Amino acid sequence: MNNVKIIGVGSYAPERVVTNFELSEIVDTSDEWISSRTGIKERRITEGENTSSLAAKAALGAIKDAKIDPLELDLIILATTSPDSFTPSTACLVQAIIGADNATCFDIGAACSGFIYGLNVATQFIKTGAAKTVLVIGAEVLSKILDWEDRSTCVLFGDGAGAAILKRSETNGILSIFTGSDGKGAEFLECPAVSVKNPFVTKNHEKTEVISMNGKEVFRFAVKAMPTGIEEVLKDSPYTIDDIKYIVPHQANMRIIEHVAKKLNIDSSKFFINLDRYGNTSAATIPIALDEMSKAGLLESGDKIIIIGFGGGLTFGSALIEW
């Protein structure tokens, strides 16, 4: 089996910054209410760019970082909850924008765990020899599927995209990956698609295509799923948590991260946090964080990190990576 390594990362977020104070002018909330419950201070919101545009800009950043030509890409996997359309896939739209004419393209839907799911799929393609160089993107324009009158959801989310280039390598960078799902909890975090409506339906059930969430149930799921994911990727490796330089969690809620750190007796400084500036960008949170960490010089060759995510589905996943 081939080895797999991340050779480049990139990210993009819209220029428009929306603060908690601005949100308090359109919905019944306050900076104190949002900050104390989530740790979020601001988020980026698109002023017209769709998911494919954000994704393409993150992809081009990763391609530049990896020092490859887009034509070298064999595969593009794009994780999103907010595609431009049902069809074509947003991955195909990105392919056309960046000029990756030789790539096979498809989207996957695993909500906030999407980037890790995409990383897993890409790794298997490379390990088996079906692909050599793969672009994995997590991209969201969640602002288009939010109920801006629902303060329990609209204050949480933001728009953004992150990407990584994976390539066949002499050395192994993806040391372990774990994913899981719990469809019994599907109702706790959902965004309906088009309702069933045709001449043969006896009764139409219209649904509003916006995100709804049972915060308590998602919290309960997250604080179980994150420790499980961390333990799973370490258990068959020669490493312990002490060998891990950073844990890069899905940036959803500071209370969740603090709870997990306390539960596992891990110093909170080991967790990389940027949710105060971006909010929850779903599938994009982890790759955005990786790009920020790389650009800031926080990651050096040989560093061991764990990425860990959870989201609608319900889904969860983790990966042990050597940088």
For the purposes of burial, counting CB atoms within 10 Å of the CB of 302, is it exposed (0-12), middle (13-18) or buried (19 or more)? exposed
Q: What's the rounded Cα separation, in Å, for the pair 246 and 267?
A: 10
Question: What is the amino acid identity at position 80?
Answer: T
Choosing from 112, 120, 191, 253, the catalytic residue is 112
Q: Is 92 a catalytic residue?
A: no
Q: Beta-carbon neighbour count of residue 300 at 10 Å? A: 8
Choosing from 92, 105, 154, 250, the catalytic residue is 250
DSSP state string for 220-287: HHHHHHHHHHHHHHHHTSS--GGG-SEEEE--S-HHHHHHHHHHTT--GGGB---HHHH-B-GGGHHH
176, 237 Cβ separation under 8 angstroms: yes
**Contact residues for 86 (Cβ-Cβ < 8 A; gap 6+):** 193
Q: In what side-by-side order are the strands of the sheet with 3-12? A: 3-12, 159-169, 133-141, 75-79, 104-108
Q: Beta-carbon neighbour count of residue 240 at 10 Å? A: 8
| Residue length of the chain | 323
Q: Is 250 a catalytic residue?
A: yes
**Contact residues for 293 (Cβ-Cβ < 8 A; gap 6+):** 246, 248, 272, 299
Q: Is 112 a catalytic residue?
A: yes
For the purposes of burial, counting CB atoms within 10 Å of the CB of 303, is it exposed (0-12), middle (13-18) or buried (19 or more)? middle
| Residues with a known catalytic role | 112, 250, 280
